[in-house]
A and B are shown apart, each in its own frame.
Chain A
């Protein structure tokens, strides 16, 4: 029994890692007022880029770097369309998903089914990693797991306590006021979109170079959409992203473990989505909930400089 619990917890942390990375990215993007529905496409592109670069160079770190760069670059297309041309963010995000899934399929075709020799290494702390249970659950993962936690904590701190965080929030809440304070609103939005794309790319390369060590079309398996749900579930707070990512990761793991007990994996797979709807509903039920919910005030709205 203990074995099973340790195994579930260990795998939960692993399954939550890409969700955490990308959700923190989407939170930063949405905090600037830009909705990016393209996460699924960005993750897929990151996954294939990470795989190809790791396959060729033999270095999973270079793979991660390349995925981060490609994710940031591709998200700039969304940035240009939504910020520069003030186009519809919903449609642009969907276009980005199609494009990302398409590009990843095109680039990855020669690599389907080829195993990776050098996967991302594991952190091993002599002594600590050998502690029974605790060492297994927390201290025997690959580097992505710890980087994700570090990035999440950093975002948590930065949003609340740094000038950059305050600037980001003010751009999403009240861009006109921010502009009058001399903040380059559009530049901040571009940076926020790029960070979101970079983290989505990184989440993708985790899947292909650490989690599975192979590339397959459709390997992101809807995680990019879960991220959109998680961002709301987290109420646009990185702390909520931690909770949500590991919770949803846990559901993902349990889905297959509970099947022998007669619990349908399909019904369990609905849970993240039902939970997100419930969170929205609970906040929607109370009149003041809308405000407490923390959604960036100008999310999804194009910003026109100097317009009244």
Chain B
């Protein structure tokens, strides 16, 4: 038997889907092996995770609650990654968005009605995230600084800044010494569907954002430029695309979406700014996998966002029901991501297995 690896010229949608599902199943299998080696019944653990997230109304509602930030951030990341701009700073773009929204909410909120203050906070958060996102874009196109490193550094800088704010100048007088800001005024709080933590405003926003960004990437002039840059940066520079402007715009959108998410989490879930780990909750990193699983199509993040939100919610459930550590979810995410990128190889390559004696070597 002989196995050949041949480059695949182009792959069909069906092949892509098959490879995607194959990668997911292989990832689940690998997770099972890890669980089994650690003395955990893998079938029970995986079943419990999905029962925890999709097996009850409570689970489904929590899954949707957590899918919203993943979709909002993931769709923006997908757009940036399509241009091969490796923004891994969504975590801090979210935080800076939350800082801006908090300031607007606390200062102007008490004097303005809800229909004014809510959009204003979203806008401020988008601008904050966009600003934090444009810095690495500018550093890249102007000074050739690698965006992976700069976005990574900015993550830590913003996280420390949030800590500085909540233990220092922004510490709320009403919080009895806890490192939280004061509560946002009532008109800045988003209401929920009854018996859930799902904000209808955010849900609609997430779905529309994913679809619109999907349309932008695949149907608009801006999207065309994004894809050209992603396929060949050098060619893009000589094909009349304004590389500087497009790169900055990509990060305005990508950072802005993460910033927007920060405002949404604040207004719907937390109601005040607190420690950075609480506010961002790792969404900025998980959204990277969400974008990847969506094959960098922003519209598909609706599905992949729900999937990973399900894993987060199910992961919380098995911590309680099976006494597994919080890190279990990371094993899940890491393993699935590894297999997803392994699967990419088979989208660009095909295996040909020839059986029998190779007559002509």
Contacts and interface: CB of A to CB of B under 8 A. Distances in A.
A10 interface: no
Contacts of A108: 325
B338 interface: yes
B49 to A, nearest CB: 13
Interface stretch (B10-18, B180-188, B207-215, B327-335): B327-335
Interface stretch (A79-87, A158-166, A195-203): A79-87
B178 interface: no
A228 B152 contact: yes
Interface stretch (B52-60, B162-170, B227-235, B253-261): B162-170
A103 B34 CA distance: 8
B287 to A, nearest CB: 11
Contact of B153 (A103, A273, A284): A273
Contact of A102 (B143, B146, B327, B341): B327
B244 to A, nearest CB: 15
A290 B334 CA distance: 34
Interface centre among A106, A228, A285 (most CB of B within 10 A): A106
Interface in A86-139: 86-88, 90-92, 94-109
B157 A284 contact: no
Interface stretch (A1-9, A50-58, A264-272): A264-272
A264 B288 contact: no
A41 interface: yes
B47 interface: no
Interface in A217-274: 217, 222, 225, 228-229, 232, 264, 266-267, 269-270, 272-274
B156 A222 contact: yes
B338 A228 contact: no
Contact of A100 (B34, B167, B334, B341): B334
B48 interface: no
Contacts, number: 143
Interface residues of B, number: 46
A99 B331 contact: yes
A270 to B, nearest CB: 5
Contacts of B88: 90, 94
The A contact surface, by secondary structure, is helix
B149 A99 contact: no
Given A264-B168, A280-B149, A81 B334 contact: no
A286 B334 CA distance: 39
Interface string B312-347: 000000000000111111111111011001101100
Contacts of A85: 341-342, 344-345
A104 B88 CA distance: 23
Contacts of A88: 341, 344
B330 A102 contact: yes
Contact of A98 (B163, B333, B344): B333
A277 interface: yes
Contacts of B345: 85-87
21 contacts: A85-B345, A91-B288, A92-B338, A97-B334, A98-B331, A99-B335, A99-B338, A101-B330, A102-B331, A104-B327, A105-B326, A105-B328, A105-B330, A105-B331, A106-B38, A217-B325, A266-B161, A280-B139, A280-B145, A280-B150, A284-B144
